[in-house]
């Protein structure tokens, strides 16, 4: 965890152990925002059988870990999570999964009960904010269908021109 992050549970609020009430970050640093992750496999299918909340929750957090890894981060860098459940009777299962995968100190957390998610059959979604120290260099992720960078295009053009000169 970056030295510029403090997890706080003020003694002026009711005691709890599953999350932090306050996370204080100061610069310099990088802030990473991760869009909501569902329990989807690489074929874009929900994991587990219909109604398998635990399987979806575990996979959603695994997907969150993969998204974080794409910028050189992991769950220990997460300072805030927002969790969406379509059935609040699953809150105990969610807490078990969270407590297994997020180590102490845990991020600030909000759980929201909603009628449905954008994906039919999805039972759980998690989004996150992570903070990395300024010195943590991002490891570029392999992106699908992304155009080459200007630097890569220039390099390719230089090679092509050099090849043409040799042929003349």
Tokens of 31: 């802030």
**Would you state the pLDDT for residue 133?**
84
**Would you state the pLDDT for residue 93?**
98
- Residue 104 CB partners (closer than 8 Å, separation 6+): none
Residue 23's CB is within 10 A of a number of other CB atoms, namely 19
Give buried/exposed letters for 48-71 (b at 16+ CB in 10 A, else e).
beeeebbbbbbbbbebbbebbeeb
Q: What long-range pairs does 136-144 form, CB within 8 A, spacing at least 24? A: 136/2, 136/30, 136/72, 136/73, 137/72, 138/30, 138/71, 138/72, 139/69, 139/70, 139/71, 139/72, 140/70, 141/69, 141/70, 141/71
Angle at 56 between CA 110 and CA 146, to 5 degrees: 90
Contact 95, 18 (CB under 8 A): yes
**Would you state the pLDDT for residue 146?**
44
**Would you state the pLDDT for residue 7?**
82
**Would you state the pLDDT for residue 149?**
45
Between CA 135 and CA 161 the distance in angstroms is 37
Tell me the pLDDT of the chain (168 aa) as tens digits.
455 788 888 888 888 777 888 888 887 888 999 999 999 999 999 999 999 999 999 999 999 999 999 999 999 999 999 999 999 999 999 999 999 999 999 999 999 999 999 999 999 999 999 999 876 555 555 555 444 444 554 555 545 445 545 555
């Amino acid at each position: 965890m970056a030295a510029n992050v403090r997890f706080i549970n003020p003694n002026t609020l009711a005691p709890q152990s599953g999350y932090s009430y306050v996370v204080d970050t100061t610069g310099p640093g990088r802030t990473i925002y991760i869009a909501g992750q569902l329990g989807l496999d690489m074929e874009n299918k929900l994991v587990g059988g219909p109604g398998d909340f635990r399987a979806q929750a575990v996979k959603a957090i695994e997907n969150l870990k993969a998204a974080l890894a794409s910028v050189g981060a992991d769950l220990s860098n997460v300072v805030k999570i927002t969790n969406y459940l379509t059935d609040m009777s699953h809150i105990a299962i969610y807490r078990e999964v969270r407590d297994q995968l997020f180590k102490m100190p845990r991020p600030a957390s909000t759980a929201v009960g909603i009628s449905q998610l954008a994906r039919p059959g999805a039972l759980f979604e998690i989004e996150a904010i992570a903070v990395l120290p300024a010195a943590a260099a991002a490891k570029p992720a392999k992106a699908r269908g992304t155009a080459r960078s200007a630097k890569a295009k220039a390099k390719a053009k230089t090679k092509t021109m050099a090849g043409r000169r040799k042929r003349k």
